[in-house]
Amino acid sequence: MKQKDFKKVVILGSTGSIGISTLKVIARYSEQFKIVGLTAYNNIDILLRQVKNFQPRYVAVPRAGQAKLKAGLNGFLVKILDVNCDLPELVSRREVDIVVIGMRGSEALIPFLSAVRAGKTVAPANKEALVVAGDLLMKEAQKHGAKIIPVDSEQSAIFQCLEGRPHKEIKRVYLTASGGALRKVPQRKFAELTVKEVLNHPRWRMGKKITVDSALLMNKGFEVIEAKRLFQLDVNQIEVVLHPEAIIHSMVGFKDGSVLAQLGVTDMRLPIQYALTYPRRLPTGLKDLNFFELKSLTFERPDIKKFPALSLCLEVAKADGTLPSVLNAADEVAVEAFLDLQISFSRIYPLVEKVVRRHKNCRHPQLNDIRNADLWAREETKRLLN
């Protein structure tokens, strides 16, 4: 392959679990991909190793981390950017083909928007941006010819099942959930749960925030909103199905009664690689599914009484407007308070619900309304915390 045939990739959040998995995929296909930019908020040591291995032209970190980065680079030539303000310019650069969004939180929204406006292929693992401003992102993507190929395993599964099918043939989408760390823990024990217990996800190794969200089924609720945006679905067309084995990553039911499912091992390298090499399928080096070892796949209805966050999310998904932004911001603050040992696990949901109920929804928000709702919800949650 000639130099110019390389797909040039920027990874936002390269030192998190998605970033690290993305680099593993790229290392395997180093003759097809070239890393142009890496960004991180902390973990400068991991970032330095990545810079030496992948030799990007640009690296973005917070100002406070730039001295340490520079010292560690030892004369290695790379342009250092500020992760807090230079991401929109970085993702829009002419030489960039694909932007992988591994960073968490709604801060991903602005660089995500810049990437779609620049007509890039965007591979988001981040769901917050799609939750708070998915309609805007999808509209802008269409307008500017940008492709959005989801990396979140469930959305990737739906994307793969839908491949080439007209939208009008979709009857419903079955969003599978492994059930998180607390599927078998009785609700009365929630108040005493330690951070470690909540972070003990049975199937996936992920960042802390998303693992707490998974334990609450809040993450699945966010994914309902995400699926609604990505595939232009009505909320009533999305059914959450507990599937503890996490082998089926989601399914699409069509008008004729046929259901297509995407199955695979629980390793994010699979959806990441699919997004990078789309529409081609190349070997991943991952283990094949062994149906004789699996023996059975099981399904349950989610327990809404035990996990009310899921129904709150469905309600928010239907109401839409600025509510998803409020839900997301309140959840970010509340989960952080739990991880900082300020509140018990059982206080996260009531706190988020209270903030959502207090918000005056703006039905057709502009970007500014979304940001104001986000700021309001953060302040309101912090006020209730104190």
Q: Which of 107, 152 has the CB closer to Mg ion?
A: 152
- Asked if residue 128 binds Mg ion (CB under 5 A), the reply is no
Q: Which stretch binds Mg ion (CB under 5 A): 78-86, 147-155, 166-174, 371-379?
A: 147-155
Query: How many positions of this chain bind Mg ion (CB under 5 A)?
Result: 3
Residues 167 and 314 sit within 8 Å (Cβ to Cβ): no
**What is the smallest separation between the CB atom of 165 and Mg ion, expressed in angstroms?**
22
Q: Which of 65, 180 has the CB closer to Mg ion?
A: 180
Rounded Cα gap, residues 312 and 223, in angstroms: 13
Q: What is the DSSP string of 61-114?
A: E-GGGHHHHHHHHTT---EEEETTTSHHHHHH-TT--EEEE---SGGGHHHHHH
- Asked if residue 374 binds Mg ion (CB under 5 A), the reply is no
**What is the smallest separation between the CB atom of 153 and Mg ion, expressed in angstroms?**
5
**What is the smallest separation between the CB atom of 168 and Mg ion, expressed in angstroms?**
26
Which DSSP category does 237 fall into?
Answer: G
- Asked if residue 267 binds Mg ion (CB under 5 A), the reply is no
**What is the smallest separation between the CB atom of 250 and Mg ion, expressed in angstroms?**
9
Question: From the list 140, 152, 267, 336, which residue makes contact with Mg ion (rule: CB under 5 A)?
Answer: 152
User: How many helices (H) and strands (E) in the chain?
Assistant: 16, 11
Q: Which of 13, 65 has the CB closer to Mg ion?
A: 13
The owner of tokens 């966050």 is: 309
Q: Which stretch binds Mg ion (CB under 5 A): 152-160, 230-238, 275-283, 287-295?
A: 152-160
**What is the smallest separation between the CB atom of 156 and Mg ion, expressed in angstroms?**
9
Residues 37 and 90 sit within 8 Å (Cβ to Cβ): yes
**CA distances, 261 to each of 160, 257, 286, 347 (Å):** 9, 13, 19, 36
What are 357's two structure tokens? 């109920």
CA atoms in the 13 A half-sphere facing the CB of 67 = 1
H or E element in which residue 292 lies: helix 291-294
Q: Which of 153, 273 has the CB closer to Mg ion?
A: 153
What are 377's two structure tokens? 């919800």
**What is the smallest separation between the CB atom of 214 and Mg ion, expressed in angstroms?**
8
The owner of tokens 């190793």 is: 49
- Asked if residue 331 binds Mg ion (CB under 5 A), the reply is no
Q: What angle do CA 243, 106, 86 make, to 5 degrees?
A: 135
Q: Which stretch binds Mg ion (CB under 5 A): 137-145, 150-158, 246-254, 364-372?
A: 150-158
**What is the smallest separation between the CB atom of 386 and Mg ion, expressed in angstroms?**
32
Q: Which of 152, 331 has the CB closer to Mg ion?
A: 152
Q: Which of 128, 152 has the CB closer to Mg ion?
A: 152
- Contact pattern from residue 347 through residue 366 relative to Mg ion, giving x for each residue in contact according to CB under 5 A and a dash for the rest: --------------------
For Mg ion, the binding residues (CB under 5 A) are: 152-154
